[in-house]
Amino acid sequence: MPDLSTDAAVLRAALAWQVELGADEAIGETPVSRFEAAARPPPPVRQAAVAAAAPQAPAELTTEALAAGCGELAALRAAMAAFEGCALKKGARNLVFSDGNPAARVMVVGEAPGRDEDRAGLPFVGRSGQLLDRMLAAIGLSRRAEAPEAAVYVTNVLPWRPPQNRDPAADEVAMMLPFLHRHIALVAPDLLVAVGNSAARTLLGTTTGITRLRGHWAEWRGVPVMPMFHPAALLRNPELKRAAWADLLAVRKRLDGA
């Protein structure tokens, strides 16, 4: 005789009979008040268990941390190329990192790439860059020189071209500033030349315009800085070239130790 407590056919038949009688819910022998259950607060959740169960997203490194972790120029360039936090990167063709000899005594800092620089991936290659090269050549300096005493190293505050060549925005400059500071520290030039309003104000931490800043030596973390008019301004206003020539002579005099 089959065991009625375990025979599958018997159990299915008993279940079907109960369903026909209307017993379509599984309940216990003790009555349960649903109203009381709803009114009771849920059991406390252990915070430690929640924290352990929650996925831990890696913390995003700041530009300060990214820059500080770069011990050489190649690493700095790679870190900037991989950085996705600046919206300018999405509209630019190339990262414009630098040009010239990193062993140079003189480091020139501009504001941002233009159309020609964005295409070439190099700073100061358009008309203003060609003028800058001629200006530097007039005092015996060149970005193509191998000897540090005759060489120039060139970069910008921003490595990507702003749309329509607009001025760099304050938040863009603030975001990328740690990279620039690290860039200068790695090159360790004897002096800096800041060309244009944005570069001069960024390096010197001032709101004073380039017209008042130019021609006067300042300092960035102990490094002498000569603010100058941007070559683009000289192309628009040739009368400014006399002042630019005076500033170049001051740079030459400083290099010669006079």
Q: Are strands 106-110 and 191-195 parallel, antiparallel or unpaired?
A: parallel
pLDDT of residue 10: 65
pLDDT single digits (tens) 69-120: 999 999 999 999 999 999 999 999 999 999 999 999 999 999 999 999 999 9
Q: Which residue has tokens 């304050």?
A: 170
Residue 109: both structure tokens together: 């800092």
* Mean of pLDDT values over 4-28: 63
Which residue would you say has higher pLDDT here, 129 or 28? 129
3-state secondary structure of 1: coil
Residue 165 zone, left/alpha/beta (φ > 0; ψ -120 to 50; rest) = left
pLDDT of residue 27: 62
Distance between CA atoms of residues 80 and 87, nearest Å? 13
Percent of the chain with pLDDT over 90: 75
3-state secondary structure of 50: helix
**Banded pLDDT at 6 (limits 50, 70, 90):** low
pLDDT single digits (tens) 137-164: 999 999 999 999 999 999 999 999 999 8
Asked if 221 and 177 count as a contact pair (C-beta separation under 8 A), the reply is: no
pTM: 0.76
CA dihedral 194, 197, 202, 203 (to 10 degrees): 30
* Mean of pLDDT values over 219-248: 97
| Burial of 146 per CB tally in 10 Å (0-12, 13-18, 19+) | exposed
pLDDT single digits (tens) 156-188: 999 999 998 898 999 999 999 999 999 999 999
Q: Is the pLDDT of residue 45 over 90?
A: no
pLDDT of residue 151: 98
pLDDT of residue 227: 98
**Banded pLDDT at 61 (limits 50, 70, 90):** confident
Residue 108: both structure tokens together: 């020139």
Residue 107: both structure tokens together: 């480091």
> Which distant-in-sequence residues (6+ apart) come within 8 Å of 37 by Cβ?
none
> Which distant-in-sequence residues (6+ apart) come within 8 Å of 81 by Cβ?
95
3-state secondary structure of 158: coil
Asked if 96 and 161 count as a contact pair (C-beta separation under 8 A), the reply is: yes
pLDDT of residue 169: 94
Asked if 143 and 100 count as a contact pair (C-beta separation under 8 A), the reply is: yes
Q: Is the pLDDT of residue 2 over 80?
A: no
Asked if 173 and 158 count as a contact pair (C-beta separation under 8 A), the reply is: yes
Q: Is the pLDDT of residue 57 over 60?
A: no
**Banded pLDDT at 49 (limits 50, 70, 90):** very low
Beta bridge partners of 225: 192, 218
Strand ordering across the sheet containing 99-100: 99-100, 152-156, 106-110, 191-195, 223-228, 218-220
Distance between CA atoms of residues 249 and 238, nearest Å? 18
Q: Which residue has tokens 């620089």?
A: 117
Nearest to 107 by CA among 185, 214, 174: 185
